[in-house]
Amino acid sequence: MKYAAIDIGTNSCRLIIVEVTDNGLNTLKKQVEITRIGEGLSKSSNLSPDAINRTISCLNDFKKTIENHKAQSFRVIATNAVREAKNQEDFLLKVKEQCGLEIDVISSDEEAKLSYLGVEKGLKFEQLPVLVDLGGGSTEFIFNGEYSYVNSIPIGAVKVTENNMSIFDIKNIFREILEHKEKFENSPLAFVGGTATSLVAIKEGMETYKPDIVHGYKLKREEVADLYNLLERMPLNVRKRLPGLQPERADIITGGAKVVLLIMDLLEKNEITISESDIMEGTIWSLLN
């Protein structure tokens, strides 16, 4: 049977279509479009008309793709930007009228749990990882060991960039995770999200994105710092031509890399593992359950 999921994130809309086999999920289609639904949200508290129109156009395209693949069941989720927007109801109504789609605006807790489910099913760790889902509008921390911890912090790559946040600003906001640091001492640190996968693609100079290489890739702290320094020094027009980086992500990648580096330092981790399997796969597994 075929299943599909659409994730409306702060920075992008993503589609996955899979076939369920005895060996797990066989991915038939993955697509990402930079729609930036959260553009300007931190200043106006509303989704802008342009952002809504971009997203609706993308959702109509995704719906046609799902129909062409004859998926038996699918789910559309929305995360931080739609969750925070004052005009959330207007947006949901427009999508229903113009796309015929019902959107589940999921809580930050469900967002974290679906991300963890996607990683848990997609990557094997010797020890349970601390998972960081770094998005455009929020960052989720999830640990599912004997000591369970879920926390959503409303800061992501888009917000850091739009608000021109310094390392000091970000550190103050993330400081609350420090009180749990000892519990994560022996756990590997895993990342999902466009910032983390883009850092791998940039490091490898990928002209074409290769998910099989990205999945399970390990980055040392020194490598993340080198990438951050490279991106920070690089003018935007040069960043847009950088192999491995979507041009539409060029303006926020430096802010995202800054957050990755800060989290590694706060948790005193010298290495991260990047997972290509994330909330999208987690959403599919939630449909199956």
Task: Report pLDDT for 42.
Answer: 86
Residue written as token pair 């992500």 = 249
Residue 239 counted as domain residue: yes
- Is the distance from CB of 76 to CB of 102 less than 8 angstroms? yes
The answer on 164 and 71 residing in a single domain is no
* Lowest-pLDDT choice from 88-92, 109-113, 145-149, 227-231: 145-149
Q: What is the mean pLDDT of the chain?
A: 95
d(CA 75, CA 84): 20
Task: Report pLDDT for 146.
Answer: 64
The answer on 251 and 165 residing in a single domain is yes
The answer on 56 and 177 residing in a single domain is no
Task: Report pLDDT for 183.
Answer: 86
The answer on 130 and 233 residing in a single domain is yes
pLDDT at 230 over 70: yes
Structure tokens at 113: 């749990």
Residue 64: burial class (beta carbons within 10 Å; 0-12, 13-18, 19+):
exposed
Residue 9 counted as domain residue: yes
Residue 113 counted as domain residue: no
pLDDT at 175 over 80: yes
Q: Is the dihedral of CA 265, 268, 273, 279 positive or negative?
A: negative
Show the domain range for 102: 2-106
Residue 159 counted as domain residue: yes
The CATH number of the domain where 189 resides is what?
3.30.420.150
- Residue 163: CB atoms within 10 A of its CB come to 14
The answer on 91 and 164 residing in a single domain is no
Q: What's the N-to-C CA distance of the chain in angstroms?
A: 14
**Helix or strand or coil: residue 113?**
helix
Taking residues 163-180, what's their average pLDDT? 91
The CATH number of the domain where 19 resides is what?
3.30.420.40
The answer on 262 and 131 residing in a single domain is yes
pLDDT at 284 over 80: yes
Q: List, for residues 48-72, the tens digit of each pLDDT value.
A: 999 999 999 999 999 999 999 999 9
The answer on 180 and 60 residing in a single domain is no
Residue 194 counted as domain residue: yes
Among 43, 75, 106, the domain-final residue is: 106
Q: List, for residues 100-158, the tens digit of each pLDDT value.
A: 999 999 999 999 999 999 999 999 898 889 999 999 999 999 998 666 889 999 999 99
Check residue 12 and give left, alpha or beta (phi > 0: left; psi -120 to 50: alpha): beta
d(CA 14, CA 32): 5
The answer on 226 and 143 residing in a single domain is yes
The answer on 261 and 155 residing in a single domain is yes
pLDDT at 179 over 80: yes
Per DSSP (E only), the strands in 84-196 are: 104-105, 130-134, 139-144, 148-153, 189-192
Residue 117 counted as domain residue: no
Give the number of domains in the chain.
Answer: 2
